């Protein structure tokens, strides 16, 4: 899509939202960083609203600042710097909670605030790391190890993860509707079935294979180092991780007694409803 088409898109459309995500992934750099920060902030706002609905009061502003800082650290630093930041965030949460002097909700406030930073901020920051895969490999294992990968391999790897997750979601939905009999997790998500999960895994692998084939035909250099065995292995593992991410979010919503985490995306719920599978799929 051209920049003009993206600027003039109707963002209530799922297709246009997907176009923007692909555009940011391909652009990389500060474009992707800015997009990830925005998604983290929107996702954290929805997550803290779930906690509010449980009657607790997380440190919303502080948690959102900590979550937004994680992709910046991922972009500029490494995992050691991210660990320092997470430690500082936890320390800050505890100190600020002492200042609130509300003992009755201290446990929920501290744990909820910090878990939100980790669940949304830490996990989604991996998109920035995966997009810069070549540089990460070179910095950690040297230029010899990175030589087996294209400098733009991160574009393929992020889109591959997205293709697997989206394929798994679609496959699980349609397979479950057509053939679903045995409940997968009835207490958490009654509509999900074992048959749907198996169909989702198969569709996820197929989505990853289509992504690989497309890149092999159009930009073969980007898939260097990622063979067809990797497509199947990572397709299965990422699809399973994506389904677990979906179930985790369903668990949180069921506990909060809400159907959707928000209404930002008409007909599709909130931001967390759209990224729940990717939150685990991308890091894996």
pLDDT digit string, tens, across residues 161-177: 999 999 999 999 999 99
Structure tokens at 124: 């989604």
162 CB-side CA count, 13 A: 20
* Residues β-bridged to residue 265: 269
Q: How confident is the model at residue 267 (pLDDT cuts 50, 70, 90)?
A: low
Segment 272-282 mean pLDDT: 94
4 or 35: whose pLDDT is higher?
35
Percentage of the chain beyond pLDDT 70 is: 90
pLDDT given at position 233: 98
Question: Which region among 53-57, 140-144, 224-228 has the lowest average model confidence (pLDDT)?
Answer: 53-57
Return d(Cα 63, Cα 93) in angstroms, integer.
Answer: 8
* pTM of the predicted protein model: 0.89
Taking only the tens place, the pLDDT of each residue in 247-265 is 999 998 888 888 766 666 5
Phi, psi of 190 (to 5 degrees): -60, -25
* Residues β-bridged to residue 183: 193
| Residue ranges with strand state E in the chain | 183-185, 189-193
Segment 70-85 mean pLDDT: 93
Return d(Cα 9, Cα 140) in angstroms, integer.
Answer: 40
Write the DSSP symbol of residue 11: T
CA-closest candidate to residue 135, choices 257, 23, 28: 28
Return d(Cα 280, Cα 163) in angstroms, integer.
Answer: 14
Return d(Cα 263, Cα 139) in angstroms, integer.
Answer: 41
Cβ neighbourhood burial of 94 (10 Å; 0-12, 13-18, 19+) = middle
Phi, psi of 266 (to 5 degrees): -55, 130
Return d(Cα 87, Cα 114) in angstroms, integer.
Answer: 10
Contacts of 204 (CB under 8 A, 6+ apart): 164, 165, 167, 168, 171, 235, 236, 238, 239, 242
- DSSP 3-state of 252: helix
Structure tokens at 76: 């500029």
pLDDT given at position 6: 42
Whole-number Cα distances in Å, 42 to 47, 65, 145: 9, 12, 37
* Residues β-bridged to residue 193: 183
pLDDT given at position 1: 43
pLDDT given at position 14: 60
Structure tokens at 149: 């990968």
Taking only the tens place, the pLDDT of each residue in 230-249 is 999 999 999 999 999 999 99
Cβ count within 10 A of residue 275: 24
Taking only the tens place, the pLDDT of each residue in 121-143 is 999 999 999 999 999 999 999 99
Report the phi/psi class of residue 203: left, alpha or beta, with left for phi > 0 and alpha for psi in -120 to 50.
alpha
Measured between its terminal Cα atoms, the distance across the chain in Å is 29
* Residues β-bridged to residue 189: 185
What is the rounded average pLDDT for all residues in the chain? 90
Percentage of the chain beyond pLDDT 90 is: 74
């Amino acid at each position: 899509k051209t920049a003009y088409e993206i600027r003039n898109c109707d963002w209530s459309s799922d297709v246009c939202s997907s176009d923007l995500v692909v555009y940011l992934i391909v652009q990389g750099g500060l474009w992707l960083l800015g997009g990830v920060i925005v998604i983290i902030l929107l996702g954290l706002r929805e997550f803290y609203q779930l906690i509010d609905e449980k009657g607790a009061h997380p440190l919303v502003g502080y948690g959102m600042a900590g979550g937004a800082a994680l992709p910046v650290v991922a972009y500029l630093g490494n995992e050691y710097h991210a660990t320092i930041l997470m430690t500082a965030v936890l320390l800050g949460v505890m100190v600020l909670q002492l200042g609130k002097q509300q003992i009755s909700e201290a446990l929920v406030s501290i744990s909820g605030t910090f878990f939100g930073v980790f669940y949304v901020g830490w996990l989604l920051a991996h998109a920035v790391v995966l997009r810069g895969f070549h540089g990460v490999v070179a910095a950690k294992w040297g230029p010899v190890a990175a030589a087996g990968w294209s400098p733009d391999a991160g574009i393929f790897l992020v889109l591959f993860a997205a293709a697997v997750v989206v394929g798994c979601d679609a496959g699980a939905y349609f397979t479950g509707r057509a053939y679903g009999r045995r409940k997968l997790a009835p207490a958490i998500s009654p509509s999900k079935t074992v048959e749907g999960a198996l169909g989702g895994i198969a569709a996820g692998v197929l989505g990853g294979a289509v992504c690989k084939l497309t890149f092999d035909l159009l930009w073969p250099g980007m898939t260097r180092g990622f063979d067809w065995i990797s497509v199947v292995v990572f397709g299965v593992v990422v699809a399973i991780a994506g389904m677990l991410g979906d179930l985790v979010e369903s668990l949180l919503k069921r506990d909060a007694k809400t159907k959707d985490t928000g209404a930002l995306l008409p007909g599709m719920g909130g931001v967390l409803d759209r990224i729940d599978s990717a939150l685990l799929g991308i890091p894996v």
